[in-house]
Structure 1
Amino acid sequence: MDTPALTALLPVVLLIVLGFIAAKVDWVRPAAVKDLTNLVFYILTPALLFRTMASVKLGELDFSPILVYFLAVGLVFVGTMLVFGFNTLAAARALAHTFSNNVMIGIPLVGLVYGQEGLVTLLTLISVHALVLLGSGTVVFELAQARQFSSEGRPQGLARTLGQAIKNSVIHPIPLPIIAGLLYAQTGWGIPGVVDKPLQLLGSALGPMALLLVGITLAYSKLGSMIRPAMRIAVVKTVVHPILFLGVAWLLGLRGIPMAAMALAAGLPVGANVYIFSQRYGVAQEEVTACIALSTGLSLFTLPVVLLVLERLR
């Protein structure tokens, strides 16, 4: 049972290691990290999100397993904010506790283990995963940032704070292409080939580029003091999150391959998009970088265990 997990996870580890090496041999210098982050955040990510959402037909999807998944996500996210307070650091940790690497690791892993039926469930999750988590995460980040500004002597009214947060959450490189793609999909029009091919090329570059960037940042980060908080995030993401999901799923009667595919998604390591958020908001960058690397390494051991548990439960 561990072969599919290793097959999917090892390329991810390799890309992070390659980025680390590239920085150590000065192929990528510290001054370039911010520019590479902007490239990923403003070009590659919107291309992938728009193209993914532009093929989503809402009426054809079964959202019941997805609702159970996001119920567990909500419990983890809210619990994190309650423990660490309503601030951008807590928001970064909450997003890291809940945002899975569904595309780079989830698709090949679920496809190998559960076939087409499992993939349909996972792709349904992926179609709304970014919209729900990155969209709501942006709102939380903006509200937390506005609250911190207020506490620093730059107060503003609640209505203005909410309005500004909502505006910044929509006119933003993450939610905007998701919403635009979703609206375009409902027209029934296909994306013209002359547009679709560049979007496909840009989107396919996102995963490898983001993982290389994690390795590059890792090389320039002093992780000695970050090991403990990063490992805490890694344990919550790869152990606590899937256990909590399984409990919620069992209570709500979700069974079979849909339950197994969602449990596997919950147990995936932290997605690289969390780092992009931490970089954009200037918070917990070293901690998030470390937790992505540590959770990916830890998942080499936890995912096979999750697969064995799921085999007994189904």
Structure 2
Amino acid sequence: MNITDHPVVASLTPVFILIALGYLAGRLKWIRESAVKDLSNLVFLLLIPALLFRTMSTVHVEALDLRPLLAYFLAALLLLGGSIFWRGFDRKSVVMALGGVFSNLVMIGITVVQLAYGKPALVTLLTIVSVHAIILLTVTTVVLEMAVASENRANGMEAPHLLTTTWMAFKSALIHPIPLPIVTGLLFAQTGWSLPMVVDKPLMLLGSAFGPIALVLVGVTMATTQLRGHLQSALWITASKNLLLPLMVGISAWAFGITGLPLTVMVVAAAMPMGANVFMFAQRYEVAQELTTASMVMSTGLALFTLTLVMLVMSWIN
């Protein structure tokens, strides 16, 4: 078989070509920084919800296997806790630990999984996506608020109530353009109805536009980021995100008896580069912002090699 015909290479090549084209467009200022926010809103508020709702609108709850959720988040939370313990308990440590476990499952993951493994694989992936932000971002918010409270007490300041902060974090993660269309799509599927053609066709067209635009935006973001001064720390975060998390998820899935396509999707999802939500946390808590951005760029750039490696290994195992 010609190397270019290998399923892994054939599915990943378009992904990285689109990211490279976005990088070129960013460097040449074809897409200016001021336009990136508007394009991001287009992707997150219109294209992604259309794709997620349409995909989940035919999935019946009784057919879902929830073991991948348990296995994936057991591994992710163990790595999150271990990373915080290793670096020490403060805001910077927590944000860096989140960078090592929070995957870009939407802007890159959905496109890669669909190209490589087809629509059936999206069911497993979107099951993880539906609670990915809710679990990881809520837990991280709680831990960050505990770190802030500890700093405030050390400085003689009053900290906000932890339960209030936790509830606000959970609510903002749930009422979000990612989990909301997944949940509503699942609820619609349980009615037994089918989407009328006049609704299904526009949703299909919007969903098909998501992948290319999202990947180009990833490249544009990379073009405006400098790695200088953060290489060593960014490399540690990238190693955790791109290699250690998929290894731990694979071991966890094996312990739960998960095999075949669900196992592959879980491990590949864990091997996706770092997601942009980590930078939002760095901004919100005013810590490690440049390091977080540099880590996201390095994680995405090196994913060309690490993600290819992980997908090849999974093709040999399965």
Query: Aligned partner of 1:133: which letter?
Result: H
SS at match of 2:195: coil
Aligned-residue sequence identity (percent) comes to 38
Match of 2:244 among 240, 253, 261: 240
Aligned equivalent of 2:138? 139
Instruction: Compute the displacement of 1:200 (Å).
Output: 2.1
| Separation in structure 2 between the aligned mates of residue 25 and residue 132 of structure 1, nearest angstrom | 37
| Separation in structure 1 between the aligned mates of residue 57 and residue 140 of structure 2, nearest angstrom | 26
Instruction: Compute the displacement of 1:157 (Å).
Output: 2.2
Instruction: Compute the displacement of 1:126 (Å).
Output: 1.5
Is the counterpart of residue 47 in structure 1 residue 54 in structure 2? no
Query: How many residue pairs align between the two structures?
Result: 303
Query: Aligned partner of 2:114: which letter?
Result: I
Q: Where in structure 2 are the equivalents of 1:53-92 lying within 5 Å?
A: 53-83=56-86, 85=89, 87=91, 90-91=94-95
Match of 2:193 among 185, 189, 206: 189
Q: Deviations over 1:25-81 (max 9, x none)?
A: 221112222222222222222222222332221112333355333332332333344
Aligned partners of 2:141 and 2:169 also within 8 Å: yes
SS at match of 1:191: coil
Instruction: Compute the displacement of 1:240 (Å).
Output: 1.2
| Separation in structure 2 between the aligned mates of residue 251 and residue 244 of structure 1, nearest angstrom | 11
Match of 1:28 among 26, 31, 53: 31
Aligned partners of 2:250 and 2:267 also within 8 Å: yes
CA separation of 1:134 and 1:19: change in aligned 2, threshold 3 A: same
CA separation of 1:237 and 1:281: change in aligned 2, threshold 3 A: closer
Match of 2:302 among 262, 280, 298: 298
Instruction: Compute the displacement of 1:313 (Å).
Output: 5.2
Query: Aligned partner of 1:45: which letter?
Result: I
Instruction: Compute the displacement of 1:249 (Å).
Output: 3.6
| Separation in structure 1 between the aligned mates of residue 295 and residue 11 of structure 2, nearest angstrom | 19
CA separation of 1:158 and 1:90: change in aligned 2, threshold 3 A: closer
Query: Aligned partner of 1:73: which letter?
Result: A
Q: Where in structure 2 are the equivalents of 1:235-314 lying within 5 Å?
A: 235-255=239-259, 258-267=262-271, 269-270=272-273, 274-275=275-276, 278-279=279-280, 282=283, 287=291, 290-303=294-307, 305-306=309-310, 309-310=313-314
Q: Where in structure 2 are the equivalents of 1:196-215 lying within 5 Å?
A: 196-215=200-219
Is the counterpart of residue 18 in structure 1 residue 25 in structure 2? no
Query: Aligned partner of 1:54: which letter?
Result: S
Instruction: Compute the displacement of 1:149 (Å).
Output: 7.2
Query: Aligned partner of 1:125: which letter?
Result: T
Instruction: Compute the displacement of 1:133 (Å).
Output: 0.6
Aligned partners of 1:40 and 1:206 also within 8 Å: yes
For structure 2, the 5+ residue unaligned runs are none
| Separation in structure 2 between the aligned mates of residue 277 and residue 52 of structure 1, nearest angstrom | 26
| Separation in structure 2 between the aligned mates of residue 187 and residue 21 of structure 1, nearest angstrom | 46
Q: Where in structure 2 are the equivalents of 1:72-151 lying within 5 Å?
A: 72-83=75-86, 85=89, 87=91, 90-91=94-95, 93-94=97-98, 97-99=101-103, 100=105, 101-110=108-117, 120=120, 122-140=121-139, 142-143=141-142
Query: Aligned partner of 1:77: which letter?
Result: L
SS at match of 2:213: helix
CA RMSD in angstroms, aligned pairs only: 3.4
Is the counterpart of residue 179 in structure 1 residue 183 in structure 2? yes
Aligned partners of 2:126 and 2:182 also within 8 Å: no
Match of 1:9 among 8, 12, 20: 12
| Separation in structure 1 between the aligned mates of residue 261 and residue 170 of structure 2, nearest angstrom | 37
| Separation in structure 2 between the aligned mates of residue 10 and residue 110 of structure 1, nearest angstrom | 14
Aligned partners of 1:37 and 1:276 also within 8 Å: no
Aligned partners of 2:58 and 2:189 also within 8 Å: yes
SS at match of 1:67: helix
CA separation of 1:286 and 1:195: change in aligned 2, threshold 3 A: farther
SS at match of 1:134: helix
Aligned equivalent of 1:116? none
Aligned partners of 1:72 and 1:245 also within 8 Å: yes
